[in-house]
């Protein structure tokens, strides 16, 4: 499990981010702090792998906290979550090692994508003493500098592998139960139109089975489940 601490002063936003985190596998919320003093006290006695850090806190600044962590050599990664979209702030955050930058308001889909990328990087660094250039390029620039990975070769233009995995996980979790695009959208946080697009793509891959149910009123429902051999 990847231990996560959320640092956010707004109780409502803190609660939303906590609920978002619960929807992502392999991440554990170990602390939801409202200020940097509380966060630092917790970090002094507990293992934290990833901070979801707001920039603007009452009388405190998340970027300055990030700088302090880097100066002290703290072994923790940071994803900044903020309404600040100025290029100067984003550039400074990246200079001090933020692994991602989410601009409020963001979607659950984008949140899951950020954590999905981070989990891949975290697992690669944890499970191997060396990293190949092709793998490193994917973390840094999102693509290989030489040849495409197998994952990338399998996807068409407009199909994002992280969104694909989110929707596929919902299908796998359902197993023998048929689900509509609306149901998958509600459980995954991905827009219904996007879910339909990816389900159609999976059907072309022969990975899902689709049935059409006709009710007494209204439009017929398209339902999907994983296709077993």
DSSP 29-68: EEEEESSHHHHHHHHHHS--SEEEE-SEETTEEHHHHHHH
Q: Which of 200, 135, 128, 216 is nearest to 167 (CA)?
A: 200
CA dihedral 104, 107, 109, 115 (to 10 degrees): 30
Specify the pLDDT at position 216: 62
Q: With contact defined as beta carbons under 8 Å apart, do 112 and 162 qualify?
A: yes
C-alpha 9/C-alpha 115 separation (Å) is 21
* Residue 212 bridge partners (DSSP): 222
Domain limits, the chain: 2-126, 154-226
What does the chain come to in residues? 229
Q: Are β-strands 221-226 and 179-180 bridged in parallel, bridged antiparallel, or unpaired?
A: antiparallel
Q: What is the pLDDT of residue 164?
A: 85
- Beta strands (DSSP E) in the chain are 2-7, 27-33, 50-53, 56-57, 60-61, 77-82, 100-103, 179-180, 208-213, 221-226
pLDDT at 8: 94
pTM of the model: 0.62
Range among 22-26, 141-145, 157-161, 168-172 rated most confident = 22-26
- Residue 35 class from Cβ within 10 Å (0-12 exposed, 13-18 middle, 19+ buried)? middle
pLDDT at 161: 77
Region 193-199 average pLDDT: 89
Q: Is the CATH number of domain 2-126 3.40.250.10? A: no
Cα four-point dihedral sign 183, 184, 188, 191:
negative
Range of weakest confidence among 58-67, 195-204, 213-222: 213-222
- Of the listed ranges 56-65, 146-155, 171-180, the one predicted with least confidence: 146-155
Smallest Cα–Cα separation from 184: which of 157, 163, 159?
A: 163
What average pLDDT does range 209-226 have in this prediction? 82
Residues 6, 14: contact at Cβ < 8 Å?
Answer: yes
List the single range of 59-63, 164-168, 184-188 with lowest mean pLDDT: 184-188
Instruction: Encode pLDDT of 5-21 as tens digits.
Output: 999 999 999 999 999 99
Domains 2-126 and 154-226 share a fold: no
Parallel, antiparallel or unpaired: strands 2-7 and 50-53: parallel
Give the pLDDT confidence score for residue 149 in this predicted structure. Answer: 44
CB 98 within 8 A of CB 92: no
Can you tell me which residue has the tokens 């392999």? 26
Q: Which fold has domain 154-226?
A: Arc Repressor Mutant, subunit A (1.10.10)
CA distances from 210 to 111, 194, 213 (A): 29, 17, 10
pLDDT > 70 in the chain, percent: 87
């Amino acid at each position: 499990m990847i231990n996560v601490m959320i640092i956010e002063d707004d109780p409502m936003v803190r609660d939303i981010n906590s609920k978002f985190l619960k929807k992502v596998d392999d991440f554990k919320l170990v602390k939801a702090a409202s200020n940097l003093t509380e966060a630092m006290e917790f970090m002094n006695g507990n293992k934290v792998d990833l901070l979801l850090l707001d920039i603007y806190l009452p009388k405190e600044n998340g970027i300055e906290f990030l700088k302090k962590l880097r100066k002290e050599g703290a072994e923790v990664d940071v994803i900044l979550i903020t309404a600040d979209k100025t290029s100067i702030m984003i550039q400074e955050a990246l200079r001090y090692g933020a692994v991602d930058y989410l601009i409020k308001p963001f979607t659950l889909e984008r949140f899951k994508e950020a954590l999905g990328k981070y989990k891949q990087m975290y697992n690669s660094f944890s499970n191997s003493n060396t990293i190949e250039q092709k793998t490193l390029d994917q973390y840094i620039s999102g693509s290989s500098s030489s040849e495409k990975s197998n994952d990338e070769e399998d996807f068409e233009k407009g199909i994002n592998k992280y969104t694909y995995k989110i929707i596929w996980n919902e299908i796998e979790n359902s197993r023998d139960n048929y689900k509509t695009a609306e149901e998958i959208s509600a459980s995954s946080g991905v827009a219904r139109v996007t879910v339909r697009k990816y389900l159609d793509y999976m059907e072309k891959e022969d990975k899902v089975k689709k049935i059409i149910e006709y009710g007494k009123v209204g439009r017929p429902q398209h339902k999907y489940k994983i296709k077993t051999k």
